[in-house]
Amino acid sequence: MSVRKLKPITPGQRFRVVNGFDTITTDKPEKSLLAPKKRSGGRNNQGRMTTRNIGGGHKQKYRIIDFKRDKQGIPATVKTIEYDPNRTAFIALLSYADGEKRYVIAQNGLKVGQTIVAGTNVAPEIGNAMTLNEIPLGTTISCIELRPGQGAVMARSAGSFAQLMARDGKYATVKLPSGETRLILLTCMATIGVVSNSDHQLLVSGKAGRSRWLGKRPRTNAVRMNPVDHPMGGGEGRASGGHPRSRNGIPAKGFKTRSKTKASNKYILERRKK
């Protein structure tokens, strides 16, 4: 993992910090694992804008990722480490012993030629996937399921990881990237290691056009709007806008929006840090 600061030969490159991509081994994806990706531009099926500030962007193909790791007991060789435009983490192309190819989220330290496997009675090494009841306590894990067979839903973005703290009965105690500590069923799968591309947070785009390439349109600051457009709009000069809130009036800082009767509340031992 490395980043490069570019020489300021243009205004857009003056503060630009780019990824070194030193772990990427190819720029050509596996064609059999690509799917078309249609853009909506924030419009619904009636053509009306339902989400603002979305539109444009570079054309992309979706990479089909194996989040379930349900091909168990069959060793797979890492063929390539690739860039994925749909996520912050890098992905790895696996070639299984029976000839099948699949993409998975790459972990830090995963190298081409390395053999990884998912299933039971597997060594807790980087890239291997197994259920929480087989992972040693204190291990750093990522790509965690919330329900058995659902596929990984937690700790999937660049540089994120969780820690297996304890086991009690049919539940494991896991400390998540947000700081939240919660109970997860021991039969859920997780992958050993930290998600790749941990330097992603150090990148600086350098210019507004780069956001447009990503499909993000300009966003107007709420305080600069008129009262008819936003609760924080209006006032003379640089008015602060009062208490920060959303367009439909929900307070933004300190206001709890989580339901007190939500079913999963009983699994959360410690809330995330504020």
- Same domain? For 131 and 257 the reply is no
pLDDT digits (tens, 9 = 90+) for 242-267: 899 999 999 999 899 999 999 999 99
**Three-class secondary structure of residue 83 per DSSP:** coil
Domain end among 173, 201, 229: 201
Flag whether the pTM goes above 0.75: yes
Domain interval for residue 273 = 220-274
pLDDT, average across residues 180-194? 97
Find the CATH number of the domain harbouring 135.
Answer: 2.40.50.140
User: Band of the pLDDT at 273, cuts 50, 70, 90?
Assistant: confident
Tell me: do 9 and 119 sit in the same domain.
Answer: yes
Q: Is the dihedral of CA 24, 162, 118, 30 positive or negative?
A: negative
Q: Considering 149, 172, 201, which residue would you say is the last residue of a domain?
A: 201
Task: Output the domain CATH number for residue 226.
Answer: 4.10.950.10
Q: Does 106 map to a domain?
A: yes
Residue 208 lies in a domain: no
* pLDDT value, residue 79: 98
Q: Are residues 9 and 109 in the same domain?
A: yes
Query: Does residue 33 come out as left (phi exceeding 0), alpha (psi in the -120 to 50 range) or beta?
Result: alpha
Percent of the chain whose predicted confidence (pLDDT) is above 90: 94
Total tally of structural domains belonging to the chain? 2
DSSP strand E in 44-111: where?
A: 61-63, 76-82, 91-96, 101-105
User: Are 196 and 256 members of one domain?
Assistant: no
What does the pLDDT look like over 83-132, one tens digit per residue?
999 999 999 999 999 999 999 999 999 999 999 999 999 999 999 999 99
User: What pLDDT shows up at residue 9?
Assistant: 97
Among 59-63, 196-200, 237-241, 264-268, the least confident range = 237-241
- Going through 106-152 in order, the beta strands assigned E by DSSP cover 115-116, 129-131, 140-142
Average pLDDT over residues 29-52: 96
Q: Are residues 233 and 185 in the same domain?
A: no
Mean pLDDT (the chain) is: 95
Residue 213 belongs to some domain of the structure: no
**82 found inside a domain:** yes
Domain annotation covers residue 185:
yes
Query: Are residues 242 and 119 located together in one domain of the fold?
Result: no
Q: Are residues 33 and 65 in the same domain?
A: yes
Residue 209 lies in a domain: no
Q: Which of 95, 133, 132 is nearest to 113 (CA)?
A: 95
The pLDDT-based confidence of 206 (bands split at 50, 70, 90) is very high
Q: Is the pLDDT of residue 274 over 80?
A: no
Residue 1 is predicted with a pLDDT of 65
Average pLDDT over residues 7-20: 95
197 and 253 belong to one structural domain: no
Are residues 17 and 59 located together in one domain of the fold?
yes
What's residue 237's pLDDT?
A: 83
152 and 247 inside one domain: no
Average pLDDT over residues 128-145: 97
The answer on 231 and 183 residing in a single domain is no
Confirm whether 145 is domain-assigned.
Answer: yes
Residue 179 has pLDDT above 70, yes or no: yes
Residue 238: predicted pLDDT: 78
Residues 91 and 133 in one domain: yes
| 212 in any annotated domain | no
